[in-house]
């Protein structure tokens, strides 16, 4: 029992590891979480922990065994006749073949470590569940980032396709103008160079999109040959930007600040007079969160809850080491038969007390026996082994207690870092939204001027280049915001609860 309990406690302390599939947004992800190899492996370990706990629970139950044995002597030990003149000597009497069969019972009455073992089994099972939950959180994080990467890559690829179509139209119009004698060949060549570069960029984006899908399949635990269909658009993933700013206390927008479609360009509204004071306390506090924002519930983090469970296991381990000095009391009982015969066939004749030979004398060869008793095991001296084990368990418990402060500091740092990263990402997104709006307007006006004959081809190419750069920066900013939001949710312990 003590060995089994030690195994539980030490193992617990050591834990401180066809049809198209629909890839869903992280808010509806639980159906994909359990498909990863790591989570499935931990789920199997959880079943093993449950079976091990059931084994501990069955220890005090009555155990029964039935045994049977038959043996034959290789030396003849039959009765020996000796001359009377010989001095007295030891002579073996018995039959060559012997056998016995018996049933034994035992019932544990008292064991100081048994109740601790039951508690440890339950706590260990709880620890295994939390370890599985932590693995699921990691899977949600990885799948979320891969999912958002695929959404952004596909949105940018569609935008590049529209850019190629628009540039093809402009190239056709310029070529017709050149044939009519109102444009230079240099203008046509510039647009062709621009188109070639854009096509190459489109091909690169196509390959990167395929790579993003492959990464998403890997994170979801799907084979690479599996077809994956994304069920959401990029706009649905970023429509909560305004509410997110309000939660962070950096702004209060009336709109989500997202995109309506893959090609839409959202415009960040200017804050009103009542909105501007929202950011003032942050500016006066060097960008640090206010006291209300700094309040954090550490129990939201699975790591903190896991450490609490490990602390409970360490306490049970210490109690188990101390309980090693307690006696162990068991009730035992046995009943059976033993027999002997000069030959094997006679041994299996099974003659009982009512058996008689030809002369009428008893001819019994099997005799019954039985006993009932108590078995008491009292530890007396173990060479100070238990003493050192208690010291080791106490040190382990103190180490875990000191780990709480380290974990709190780490969580505080992750909370501040994730908040700062998300605020910066939102600021960059606002800036890139404004730049994209300006670049799109400049490109539109430049094309109109060129078609009216009052603008140069070089201005059009420069404006188109700036527009593509603004588009690239904008989608990169969207991805940074989405990833920062995932990191923020994980830091605050909300990622898995949102997925569930």
Among the three residues 182, 204, 232, which one is the final residue of a domain in this structure?
232
Query: Per the domain annotation, does 257 fall within a domain?
Result: no
- Asked whether residue 311 is assigned to any structural domain, the reply reads no
Element (H, E) at 99: strand 97-111
Residue range 398-442, pLDDT digits in tens: 999 999 999 999 999 999 999 999 999 988 988 999 999 999 999
Instruction: Tell whether 391 is covered by a domain.
Output: no
Q: What's the domain range around 359? A: 328-377
Domain assignment present for 366: yes
Lowest mean pLDDT, pick from 47-61, 239-253, 367-381, 408-422 = 47-61
206 phi/psi in degrees, rounded to 5: -65, -45
Domain final residue, candidates 377, 412, 446: 377
Is 32 domain-assigned? no
Q: Is residue 218 one of the residues assigned to a domain?
A: yes
Q: Are strands 97-111 and 63-72 parallel, antiparallel or unpaired?
A: antiparallel
Task: Kindly report, residue by residue over 459-486, the tens digit of the pLDDT.
Answer: 988 998 899 999 999 999 999 999 999 9
- How many Å apart are CA 391 and CA 354, to the nearest integer? 64
Helices 2-13, 37-57: inter-axial angle, 10-degree rounding = 160
20 occurs within a structural domain: no
Domain end position, chosen among 339, 355, 377: 377
Ramachandran sector of residue 224 (left: φ over 0; alpha: ψ -120 to 50; beta: rest):
alpha
CA max distance for the chain: 150
Which residues have a Cβ under 8 Å from the Cβ of 24 and sit 6 or more positions away?
31, 32, 231, 232
Give the global pTM: 0.68
Q: What pLDDT sits at residue 128?
A: 85
Asked whether residue 131 is assigned to any structural domain, the reply reads yes
How many domains, the chain? 2
Q: How far is CA 445 from CA 300, 434, 450, in A?
A: 52, 17, 9
């Amino acid at each position: 029992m003590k060995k089994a309990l030690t195994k539980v406690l030490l193992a617990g302390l050591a834990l401180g590891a066809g049809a198209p599939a629909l890839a869903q947004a992280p808010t509806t992800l639980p159906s994909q979480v359990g498909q990863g190899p790591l989570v499935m492996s931990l789920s199997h370990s959880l079943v093993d922990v449950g079976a091990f706990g059931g084994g501990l629970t069955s220890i005090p139950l009555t155990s029964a065994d039935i045994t049977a044995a038959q043996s034959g002597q290789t030396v003849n030990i039959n009765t020996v006749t000796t001359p009377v003149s010989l001095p007295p000597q030891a002579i073996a009497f018995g039959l060559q073949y012997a056998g016995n069969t018996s049933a034994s019972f035992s019932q544990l009455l008292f064991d100081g470590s048994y109740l601790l073992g039951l508690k440890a089994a339950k706590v260990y099972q709880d620890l295994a569940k939390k370890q599985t939950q932590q693995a699921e959180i990691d899977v949600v994080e990885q799948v979320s980032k891969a999912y958002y990467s695929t959404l952004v890559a596909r949105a940018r690829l569609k935008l590049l396709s529209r850019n190629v179509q628009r540039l093809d139209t402009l190239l056709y119009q310029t070529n017709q103008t050149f044939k009519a004698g109102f444009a230079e060949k240099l203008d046509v060549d510039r647009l062709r160079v621009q188109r070639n570069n854009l096509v190459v960029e489109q091909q690169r984006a196509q390959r990167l999109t395929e790579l993003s899908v492959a990464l998403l399949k890997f994170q979801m635990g799907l084979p690479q040959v599996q077809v994956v269909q994304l069920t959401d658009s990029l706009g649905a993933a970023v429509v909560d930007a305004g509410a997110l700013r309000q939660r962070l206390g950096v702004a209060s927008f009336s709109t989500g600040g997202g995109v309506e479609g893959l090609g839409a360009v959202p415009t960040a509204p200017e804050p009103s007079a009542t909105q501007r004071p929202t950011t003032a306390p942050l500016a006066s506090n060097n960008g640090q969160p206010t006291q209300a924002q700094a309040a954090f519930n550490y129990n939201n983090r699975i790591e903190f809850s896991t450490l609490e469970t490990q602390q409970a296991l360490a306490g049970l381990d210490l109690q188990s080491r101390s309980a090693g000095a307690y006696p162990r009391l068991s009730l035992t009982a046995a009943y059976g038969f033993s027999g002997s015969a000069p030959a094997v066939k006679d041994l299996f004749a099974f003659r009982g007390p009512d058996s008689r030979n030809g002369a009428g004398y008893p001819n019994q060869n099997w005799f019954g026996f039985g006993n009932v008793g108590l078995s008491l095991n009292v530890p007396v001296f173990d060479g100070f082994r238990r003493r050192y084990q208690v010291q080791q368990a106490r040190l382990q418990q103190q180490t875990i207690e000191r780990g709480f402060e380290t974990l709190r500091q780490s969580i505080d740092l992750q909370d501040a870092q994730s908040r700062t990263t998300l605020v910066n990402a939102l600021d960059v997104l606002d800036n890139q939204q404004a730049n994209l709006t300006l670049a799109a307007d400049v490109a539109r006006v430049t094309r109109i001027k060129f078609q009216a004959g009052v603008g140069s081809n070089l201005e059009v190419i420069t404006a188109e280049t700036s527009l593509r750069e603004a588009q690239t920066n904008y989608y990169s900013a969207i991805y940074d915001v989405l990833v920062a939001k995932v990191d923020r949710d994980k830091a605050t312990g909300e990622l898995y609860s949102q997925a569930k």
